[in-house]
Amino acid sequence: MQILDRHLTAHSLRAIALVAASLTSMMLLFAFFDELSESADRYGFDDVLNYLWRTLPRRLEELMLYSVCIGYLAALGQLAEQGELTALRAAGVSPTRLLIGLAPSMLLCLGISFALSEYIAPKAEQAAEVAKLNAQYGRNAMRERGGFWIRDDRLYMHIQALSDKDGGTLYGLRQYWLDENLKLQSSLEAEYATYDADQQNWVLHNGRQTTLTPQNTAVDQFSQRLWDNTVTPKLLSNQAFLEPKRMSLLGLTDQVNFLQQQRLQATQYELALWSRVLKPLNYFGMMLLALAIVLGPLRGTGLGPRLALGLLVSLSFKYLQDLFAPMSVVFALPPSIAVALPVLLYIFVGWLLIRRYA
């Protein structure tokens, strides 16, 4: 049986690698023309190539799941055309044993996907977005775009810019503090703020605080002031430059915990978090469905119909995910259930096909 496992693994990995390379190349081509259409005088050909190169890990990770589905359909279909699957089934090899033989290739693809999504893609994606903004707007890119806002309990803060390296320096801070009645209590402006990693707090520099009272208004100038807050540079950088689905699992956990502490809606981050947690289930569902299709409806068809069906299955899965995600907001459906329903549906369909044809 080890020979069977090695044969299935090698055959599957070749097909998955070919599909992944083809899909990624096609998506890069589309992204290339899309980036060239950006209306910025300083955003040229070299900047586009740099952006595409840095976003390559993210694009490959997003396409890996669909490459696994189409790759298994192609590899198993070729084995069926050559009569190898028929011989294996006649020799008493069950669908469960075939799944075990396919598991090493699935686990390897899953490991590559996790390595990309957790370690390589988030940093590369953030660097790509920063480089693109700098190319389009110059060094004051975030300021040109109006900065961004963040809320922490009764504090509302506007930040004009972050340092490119790690977000450990904030520029152009404006803080607005509200009282228990949600009325403006004080405001603060600082030229910049630096993060002390040892003390885990911020130091505000060259600022002014205005305190409002019913009797008068007090203005306090300062050169340095301690600001003790749980907001970290990594959390700010993630919010400023990365969409939820492009963050790492640790980054998503930090964002969800922070938003829940502030009693803010964290649904988008929770959906991305559960999508990452349930990723192994997604890969297993695609592998099971691919095997069920080859053993059942497409046992005797050619490569073309199998590839077409693979694209249809992959797109259907993506659209189901996009359909169930808003239900988490509209119908108060738990994000874990909204993410799990599509893949559980695919696993159920694959199980039914195997029960019927195998």
What was the pLDDT predicted at 84? 83
Distance CA 63, CA 70 (A): 11
Name which residue leads in pLDDT, 212 or 64.
64
Long-range residue pairs from 163-167, CB within 8 A, at least 24 positions apart, any chain: 164/130, 164/134, 166/233, 166/234, 166/237, 167/233, 167/234, 167/236, 167/237, 167/240
Query: Do 132 and 275 belong together in one domain?
Result: yes
What is the average pLDDT score of the chain?
85
What was the pLDDT predicted at 297? 65
Query: Do 11 and 131 belong together in one domain?
Result: yes
User: pLDDT digit string (tens) for 48-80?
Assistant: 899 999 999 999 999 999 999 899 988 888 888
Q: Is the pLDDT of residue 39 over 60?
A: no
> Is 196 a member of any domain?
yes
What's the DSSP call for residue 358?
Answer: -
284-298 burial, b for 16+ CB within 10 Å, e for fewer?
A: bbbbbbbbbbbbbeb
> Is 95 a member of any domain?
yes
Query: Do 180 and 321 belong together in one domain?
Result: no
User: pLDDT digit string (tens) for 146-173?
Assistant: 678 888 778 888 888 777 555 578 888 8
Query: Do 123 and 21 belong together in one domain?
Result: yes
Residue finishing a domain among 212, 229, 246: 229
> Is 251 a member of any domain?
no
Q: Domain containing 194: what range?
A: 154-229
Residue finishing a domain among 203, 229, 255: 229
> Is 51 a member of any domain?
yes
Find all residues with CB under 8 Å of 175, minimum gap 6, and list them. 155, 156, 157, 187, 188, 189, 190
Query: Do 118 and 210 belong together in one domain?
Result: no
Mean pLDDT computed over 282-306: 80
Counting the structural domains of the chain, the total is 2
> Is 272 a member of any domain?
yes
Q: What is the CATH number of the domain that holds 169?
A: 2.60.450.10
> Is 279 a member of any domain?
yes
Query: Do 109 and 173 belong together in one domain?
Result: no
Distance CA 186, CA 72 (A): 61
CB 33 within 8 A of CB 107: no
Query: Do 100 and 173 belong together in one domain?
Result: no
Query: Do 177 and 130 belong together in one domain?
Result: no
Query: Do 97 and 49 belong together in one domain?
Result: yes
Alpha helix ranges (H) inside the chain: 2-36, 45-81, 84-90, 95-115, 121-137, 141-144, 233-241, 249-261, 267-277, 279-295, 303-330, 335-357
> Is 47 a member of any domain?
yes
Query: Do 314 and 224 belong together in one domain?
Result: no
> Is 278 a member of any domain?
yes
Query: Do 128 and 7 belong together in one domain?
Result: yes
Return phi, psi of residue 5, to 5°: -60, -45
What was the pLDDT predicted at 298? 64
What's the DSSP call for residue 239?
Answer: H
What was the pLDDT predicted at 40? 60
User: pLDDT digit string (tens) for 108-149?
Assistant: 999 999 999 999 999 899 888 888 877 776 656 566 666 788
Mean pLDDT computed over 92-98: 86
Query: Do 38 and 126 belong together in one domain?
Result: yes
